Structures are given as structure tokens and as C-alpha cells.
Amino acid sequence: MKEMTDWVVVNYLRPLFREDTTQLLKDHLAQSDLVVLVSSGPTPLLARIGAEWGVEHVVGTVPAKKDGRFTGGVAGRVCIDETKASFARDYLSARGFKVDYAASYAYGDSTSDLGLLEMAGNPVAVYPDKGLKPIAAARGWRVFPG
């Protein structure tokens, strides 16, 4: 798994990282904000992406294992749509973090991020897709870039 996630990040994802959105992340880290990467992706890949950016906390879809080997399946539910918010809350609570959600920021680019965006007091639609863009506009959410 480590070799695969290293390959995916270095050869596929790293060239796709946008400098302007990466700067948003760096700004939060520089302010010592608690940053959690929440995605539908598999947690081993998210951990590798987090390591790339200096983000310790990740929440995602847990891959199933049998006899110490990944099966290609999912252990539990996929971290998407409304489960993104519940997974994030559960993760933070289990680790004893007391979060002021009204003062928190959430960033997302599609309607599958709505649950996460709705739980934060400062939702930001980042390069929103055609489904999220009108929702963000109707709700008065920040759209980045603006």
C-alpha cells in the first residue's frame, strides 16, 4: 500500500495540486489551526496526501482487510455525502478535540461535500462543480477563487 500511495501522490496527484488552494491549507497550518483532510478516498492514500502537506489528521473511507491483506472492499460505509460530516465529528470526538463548528472552516468542490460544508460556520466552495456552485451562491457561501 505504501508503494502504491507514494506512486499515486508523486506521479499523479502532486502535479494536480493547485498552488492557490494549497496556500489556503498552508495558511491554516501557519495559524496552528486544527486541519483535518476529509475525503471519500481510502484512508491510506489520504494519510500519504496529508503527509505531503503536513496534515496529521485524515478522515476517509476505510479499506477492508482480510488476513492482513486489502480486499478491494470497504470496511463500513463510504465517506461521502452526509457521512463526511458524521465521520469527521466522530473522529474529532474520539480524539478529545473540542471544536467550535460555528467558527470552523470547511472546503469542498462538489455536492458530495455538502454535509461537511453545512457543519462549518465558514463553508468555502473551492472551484465548485456545476452542482455546488449555485448552492453556494444561494446560501451566500464564499466561492474560491472569488
pLDDT attached to residue 8: 93
- Which alpha helices (H) appear in the chain, and where do they start and end? 2-7, 19-30, 43-53, 82-94, 114-119, 132-139
Percent of the chain that is helix, strand, coil (3-state, to 5): 50, 25, 30
For the segment 88-99, the average pLDDT, to the nearest whole number, is 97
Q: How far apart are CA 112 and CA 95, in angstroms?
A: 25
For the segment 19-46, the average pLDDT, to the nearest whole number, is 96
Cell of 25: 491549507
CB 104 within 8 A of CB 122: yes
> What mean pLDDT value characterizes the chain?
96
Threshold 0.85, pTM exceeds: yes
Q: Is residue 113 part of a domain?
A: no
Q: Is residue 111 part of a domain?
A: no
Select from 126, 118, 136, 138 the least CA-distant residue to 24.
Answer: 126
Q: Is residue 56 part of a domain?
A: yes
Percent of the chain whose pLDDT exceeds 90: 95
Percent of the chain whose pLDDT exceeds 70: 100
Number of domains within the chain: 1
| pLDDT surpassing 90 at residue 146 | no
pLDDT attached to residue 131: 97
125 pairs with which residues across the strands?
Answer: 108, 143
The domain containing residue 41 runs over which residues?
Answer: 1-16+36-96
Q: Is residue 131 part of a domain?
A: no
Which domain CATH number covers 77? 3.40.50.1000
